[in-house]
Amino acid sequence: MRARWLAVTLVPLLTVPAARLAAQDAGPTVEAAVGTAIVNRELQGAAETFPANVGTVYCYIKVSKTQAGAAIEAVWYHSDVEVGRKALNIGGSPWRTSSSKIIPPDATGDWRVDVVSDGKVVKSVSFKGQ
């Protein structure tokens, strides 16, 4: 009887840490969108297509389920060619940050921003320049 009680008691204790480890291994949760400005820590002018004279496009990123001191990268691509990369430090969870890129008027076509954590793309946002 005592052995059965011990097994029933230990099983929940052993599974809780395993569940926490699995959640940590999943990496951060990331939301991202692109727009024309960031005002009061909020994205403005969110869109999937921007005119050729847009000037600067901002990638707004919200990260959660990560620890302070972690870092992510915003990697900018135009027609699948990397044109910019910025390291962003995470100060807590949740954490809002952003990266921006000046878009030349002649840089029309497909664009994307990959949010990278520990060498893995955790979120990708695509847009077009017209």
Beta bridge partners of 81: 78
Tell the burial category of 58 from Cβ atoms under 10 Å away from its Cβ (0-12, 13-18, 19+). Answer: buried
Kindly report the pTM of this predicted structure: 0.80
Q: What is the CATH number of domain 27-129?
A: 2.60.40.1930
How much is the pLDDT for 4?
55
If DSSP codes are grouped into helix, strand and coil, which group holds residue 96? strand
% of the chain with per-residue pLDDT over 90: 77
Domain ranges (residues) in the chain = 27-129
Summary mean pLDDT of the chain: 86
Q: Is the pLDDT of residue 101 over 90?
A: yes
